[in-house]
Structure 1
Amino acid sequence: MGKFDPAEIVESARRGGYAVGGFNMHNVETTQALLQAAELADAPVFMQVGRAVVPHMGLAESFRMTQRELSKSDAQAVIHLDHGTYDEVFEALRLGFDSIMFDGSHLDFEDNIKATKYVVKVCHSFGVPVEAELGKIPDANTAINWPDFYTSVDEAERFVAETGVDFLAISAGVMHGVTATEPLPLDIERIARIRDVTGIPLVLHGASGVPLDDIRAAIAAGINKLNADTDLRHAFRRGIEETWALGDRQLEDGMAEGRRQMIEATVQKMREFGCADRSQNQNLAQAVTA
């Protein structure tokens, strides 16, 4: 396993006009699914320790689980803290995360700047890039007044200039989860304007359920990292349910089928994001002692 630079992976996506996928793990089988998909698609991948798995097994064990599986893989993968709290950022640094997202979007604008600026200073001293969030991403199927959620172009410009953040997650019409109604078209013009005033790679969370045309337009407008979880988690669940529908089966049979279906779903996402066949193991791997 090589050691890869998350910032270079995202910068390669920007230069190449595609987006790298950021996907969440929930157990060993889903971790294996993401890594095997990355190998099959020959794609880079952000292995994201997120808000569901941390309460389930803790940040340290989630990291160690991912690290163990990654040590057996040839995938061009990095371990990324997703929606990290202030305290989790510093624990993640001690553990050895490759990339960190500090989510201060619940704070008011000035406090978000202050907290993110300090996080960036500390993380950069360890050579770890930082993703931050500005604007708010609602949960699917809730009442949404979009002007309350959209990322402000002017605030994004100031936020990036004052914090020095490496990537910025923005709100432009995406949701966490998949809505039961017709999804709102992405605000592509807003994405392009934020790209122009910030000059850094942008991130969209909540890519599950977003029409492919919108995904492609968002990438063209400046999105270079796309986070998706729900579609992949549903694929894993479908494999389990289809197995158990056949009658009494071992739990492992269901998880194996869930893993297989999640691999297929993840490879499809990588193709849609344009990062399939973009792995750069030879160019980005840095020599490390086994």
Structure 2
Amino acid sequence: MLIPTGQLLQKATAGGYAIGAFNVYTLEGATAVVTAAEELQSPVMLQVLPSALKIGGRPLVALCHALAKDATVPVAVHLDHCSSQVLTVKAMIWGVSSVMADGSELPFEQNIQFTQYVSEIARGLGAGVEAELGRLSGEEDGIAVHQREALLTSPEQAEEFVEQTGVDALAVCIGNVHGHYRRTPELDFVRLEKIRQRVDVPLVLHGTSGLPDELIDKAITHGICKFNVNTELRRACLKATEACFNEAQTGQQPELTRIMEESVRAMKEVVSEKIKLFRSAEMT
């Protein structure tokens, strides 16, 4: 069933668990997420990055919508990390449940202005808005952010930002990074607690791939109610595809349906593991 993102996140916050927000690019990815969620009776989010949306367009959103509506568990459809006003508005018109208005690379005041603009349009279209305050290092959607450019979220600015923009969820930077962690992750839970005390909207953590299970669990205990998952899903899909070619007989290529089946299987395993880790199984 297609559910508003805000409803999913509010319920997760109250219930002490987190929603897995899984980036999908194709039918296989979306199918893997929904199938795993149904088997474990967990709410989930299907996330689409701008790079995928530029290729898939409205049909990609429609695909996610169709799977969400037919699902036996709550599913939201979300546009992730979008800094383009035009593409953000298009996605909302096409029917995504929510968007991430990503002005994190902008100075604080400009981030507020950008997010205010998106939030105003979103209210008229019935969509939710997530924003990010601070800047994660690593790579997201092909854009590299160096460690020296990364900024941790200020609790004081978080309070002002939420008040002025009216966002429905806030992604925080507390030492998490996009993509692979090059050294042992260290999350600033003291900072997270201060943000939680000042902000009453659901809190989101990006850069989940590579975080130890104990840090994930501790983050949920400290109020994180949504985790983004991308790198591990892509890795699983690519490994499954490579294995299909390796298994094919010399001079032959594997059937496309075989690749599709193995991709779904591999990504579904990742989704199932994350759902259990996020405590959202049996929470529908």
TM-score, scaled to structure 2: 0.91
The structural deviation recorded for 1:250 is 1.5
- Aligned equivalents of 1:227, 1:136: Cα separation in 2: 15
Give the residue type in structure 2 aligned to 1:80.
H
**Residue 275 (1) aligns with residue 280 (2):** yes
Give the residue type in structure 1 aligned to 2:238.
R
Report the CA distance shift for 1:166/1:143 in structure 2 as closer, same or farther (over 3 A).
Answer: closer
- Aligned equivalents of 2:180, 2:40: Cα separation in 1: 24
* Deviation per residue, 1:204-243 (Å, 9 max, x gap): 1110110001101111111111001111111122222222
- Aligned equivalents of 2:137, 2:16: Cα separation in 1: 27
- 1:254 aligns with 259
- 1:190 aligns with 191
Give the residue type in structure 1 aligned to 2:228.
N
- Aligned equivalents of 1:160, 1:143: Cα separation in 2: 26
**Residue 83 (1) aligns with residue 86 (2):** no
* Deviation per residue, 1:260-289 (Å, 9 max, x gap): 01111101101101111112xxxxxxxxxx
Give yes or no for contact 1:26–1:52 (8 Å, CA) kept in 2: no
Give the residue type in structure 1 aligned to 2:68.
L
Give unpaired runs (5+ residues) of structure 1.
Answer: 280-290
- Aligned equivalents of 1:83, 1:28: Cα separation in 2: 21
Task: Give the SS at the match of 1:199.
Answer: coil
Task: Give the SS at the match of 1:104.
Answer: coil
Give the residue type in structure 2 aligned to 1:207.
T
**Residue 22 (1) aligns with residue 24 (2):** no
After TM superposition, where is structure 1 displaced by more than 4 Å over at least 4 residues in a row? 140-143
* Deviation per residue, 1:53-78 (Å, 9 max, x gap): 123323x2221221233344323111
- 1:51 aligns with 50
Give the residue type in structure 1 aligned to 2:92.
L
Q: Which moved more, 1:239-248 or 1:13-22?
A: 239-248
Give the residue type in structure 2 aligned to 1:274.
R
* Deviation per residue, 1:99-133 (Å, 9 max, x gap): 12111112111011112122212212333221011
The structural deviation recorded for 1:11 is 0.7
Give unpaired runs (5+ residues) of structure 2.
Answer: none
- Aligned equivalents of 1:50, 1:75: Cα separation in 2: 23
Q: Within 5 Å, give how 1:221-236 maps onto structure 2.
A: 221-236=222-237
TM-score, scaled to structure 1: 0.89
Task: Give the SS at the match of 1:245.
Answer: helix
Give yes or no for contact 2:49–2:79 (8 Å, CA) kept in 1: yes
Percent of paired sites with the same residue: 34
- Aligned equivalents of 1:193, 1:158: Cα separation in 2: 14
Report the CA distance shift for 1:103/1:7 in structure 2 as closer, same or farther (over 3 A).
Answer: same
Give yes or no for contact 2:45–2:78 (8 Å, CA) kept in 1: yes
Task: Give the SS at the match of 1:131.
Answer: strand
